[in-house]
Amino acid sequence: MASETSAGLKVLHGLLQQLAEAEAGLADGPRRVAAADRQVTAGEQQAEQQKQAIRDAKRSADEANLRLRSKEAEILKLEGQLNTASTNKEYDIIKGQIVNAKKDRGDIEEAGLLGLEAVDEAQRRLKELESELQKRRQQAQAAKSDYEAQKPKLQAEIEALQTQISEAEKVVPGSELATWRRLRAAHGAAAVSCLEDDFCSACSTRVTAQDMVRIRTGVFVICRGCGRAMYEA
């Protein structure tokens, strides 16, 4: 049967673990909120970049349209010159220029169509990004609301556990309080280790026969391997 000291350390160990979980939960809230906010910021940046991509695509499409108009005006001018050509040579030269201009016009028209398709695709992508951004904003708000709802509960739980731990720490002998405080400051809930088949569960060091006797007679014993307070369940 475990000694009163071991029984007390077991209770203390459980309370410290509960405290660690509550403190982790309280600390996790702001981290989750911050992570959600970063996702919103990233989504906003993506949406702004996509809006710029749309502006660039529209500008390219407008430039292609202007080039097309200019090329059509050039073709009309050449066709007018063709009708007034005074020699066969001049006629052939102008006709060749018209052929080249019409080829250029075809290339410009193709570029213009591709530009319009790029605008449509960019606008479609923006809608997707804005939809995703809306979801991220909702998730961020949910994270904040959840944290605000859980925060007072966790704070109350932590306060209650700290009171219980202060009472449970009375199992530590006065002569060992300074050692215990150093242990708890360094290891938190892991400052206490349960024995498993005469081995320290924290570092797997085998407990000496002498220390086992001391533990079973209620002495506050520190593991020779890792320095944690040991108890027998």
Cα 97 to Cα 92: distance, rounded to the nearest angstrom: 9
Alpha helices in the chain (DSSP H): 4-83, 88-168, 177-187, 209-216
Lowest-confidence region among 6-15, 85-94, 184-193? 85-94
* pLDDT band at 1; cut points 50, 70, 90: low
3-class SS of residue 85:
coil
Asked if the model's pLDDT at residue 2 lies above 80, the reply is: no
pTM of the model: 0.70
Structural domains of the chain, ranges and CATH numbers in brackets: 23-169 (1.10.287.1490), 172-233 (no CATH)
* CA distance between the termini of the chain: 8
Partner residues linked to 195 by β-bridges: 200
| pLDDT tens-digit readout, 181-199 | 999 999 999 999 999 999 9
Which residue from 96, 106, 98 is spatially nearest to 68, judged by alpha carbons?
106
Cα 148 to Cα 213: distance, rounded to the nearest angstrom: 50
| Span 116-144, average pLDDT | 96
Lowest-confidence region among 21-25, 60-64, 83-87, 128-132? 83-87
pLDDT of residue 82: 86
Which residue from 31, 58, 203 is spatially nearest to 118, judged by alpha carbons?
58
pLDDT of residue 83: 85
pLDDT of residue 74: 92
Backbone angles phi, psi at 201, to 5 degrees: -70, -15
Tell me what percent of the residues of the chain surpass a pLDDT of 90. Answer: 86
| pLDDT tens-digit readout, 18-39 | 999 999 999 999 999 999 999 9
Cα 184 to Cα 16: distance, rounded to the nearest angstrom: 9
Sign of CA dihedral 108, 112, 117, 121: positive
Residue 68 · residue 61 · CB < 8 Å: no
Asked if the model's pLDDT at residue 141 lies above 80, the reply is: yes
